[in-house]
Amino acid sequence: DADAGQAYFDHVMAEDSRIEPRDWMPDAYRRTLVRQISQHAHSEIIGMQPEANWISRAPSLKRKAILMAKVQDEAGHGLYLYSAAETLGTSRDEMMGQLVAGKARYSSIFNYPTVTWADMGAIGWMVDGAAICNQVPLCRASYGPYGRAMVRVCKEESFHQRQGFEILLELANGNPAQKQMAQDAVNRWYAPSLMMFGPPDDDSPNSKQSMAWNIKRFSNDELRSRFVGMMAEQVRVLGLSLPDPEVRFNEDTKTWEHGPLDWEEFKQVLAGRGPCNAQRLERRRQAHDDGGWVREAATAYAAKMAAKNEA
């Protein structure tokens, strides 16, 4: 019953151990997980678009093959995460339906355009780098299927980040035009990648509860600061610079600091008024429709197999 269930749930939280699909859980805990995991899955699927834009334009066969592998990984991450969300009783059709109807959130970062090849490097190094900072702690999320999905995802994100760093390193060591293209990409992706971590802590309505439930392990600002530190160290190896003169390590607080971010822009992107929101949704709708025959064939095949097994 609910009393025994709540007592068990509270014990699991206090012990910082795991809640599994068949365990009793508060409705609000379930809702928070469906919200976050479905958004995470949507982010992976939409995130395929900015990168796929360069598969047919990659500068070499090697780069094309690596980029294709990365985009396929993102699709897999999405399917992994939709499966984790389904264990909470929400169907994939319902989640996909919310996305194509424009009713679901996905990461703000994917509403920006990828205008040069160097953006593939910046996305790998910065966006996947930010995703790693955010996803490593999620490996310890209190909900079993989510934490376990993150372990596999993080291993693949590391490859994504390294290939992005290598693209930037090659360009930065190239001719002046290539170096400028790499710097331009870093300049454009810097602030949007910092905003991936969510609004400032004092404007983050979900954080307190999410941390009490051992879903979010560190605050938005804390992970953002870690990410700035990671980039500040690595950008020197690239011989490039971060477009933020206020990046510095505060010896007293032992944290990395950065300049102000445009949270009005963030709000506009979340409201659907970012540079590429409409295009991303339109492409997703088109892809969903184009995939209709696959779903019909799979359903017909499943029915045929079921009938055969009954006979």
Binding residues (CB under 6 A) for ligand 3HC: these are: 35-36, 39-40, 43-44, 47, 74, 77, 105, 107-108, 127-128, 131, 134, 157, 195-199, 204-207, 210, 216, 220, 270
Phi, psi of 62 (to 5 degrees): -60, -50
What is the residue type of 245? P
Task: Supply the minimum distance, in Å, between the C-beta of residue 203 and ligand 3HC.
Answer: 8
Task: Supply the minimum distance, in Å, between the C-beta of residue 210 and ligand 3HC.
Answer: 5
Nearer to ligand 3HC, 18 or 35 (CB): 35
Which helix (H) or strand (E) element contains residue 7? Answer: helix 2-15
Nearer to ligand 3HC, 70 or 179 (CB): 70
Nearer to ligand 3HC, 163 or 210 (CB): 210
Nearer to ligand 3HC, 179 or 193 (CB): 193
Nearer to ligand 3HC, 67 or 179 (CB): 67
Do 85 and 182 contact (CB within 8 A), yes or no? no
Nearer to ligand 3HC, 112 or 197 (CB): 197
Comparing C-alpha atoms, which of 46, 162, 33, 9 is closest to residue 87?
33
Q: CA–CA distance from 297 to each of 60, 76, 96, 289, 300 (Å)? A: 36, 21, 18, 14, 5
Task: Supply the minimum distance, in Å, between the C-beta of residue 197 and ligand 3HC.
Answer: 6
Task: Supply the minimum distance, in Å, between the C-beta of residue 265 and ligand 3HC.
Answer: 12
Task: Supply the minimum distance, in Å, between the C-beta of residue 208 and ligand 3HC.
Answer: 9
Comparing C-alpha atoms, which of 155, 153, 189, 46 is closest to residue 107?
46
Task: Supply the minimum distance, in Å, between the C-beta of residue 256 and ligand 3HC.
Answer: 18
Nearer to ligand 3HC, 107 or 225 (CB): 107
Angle at CA of residue 284, ends 150 and 273, nearest 5° = 95
Q: Which residues contact 280 (CB under 8 A, 6 or more apart)?
A: 46, 49, 110, 111
In angstroms, the CA 40 to CA 43 distance is: 5
- Tokens 């490039």, residue located: 240
Task: Supply the minimum distance, in Å, between the C-beta of residue 185 and ligand 3HC.
Answer: 15
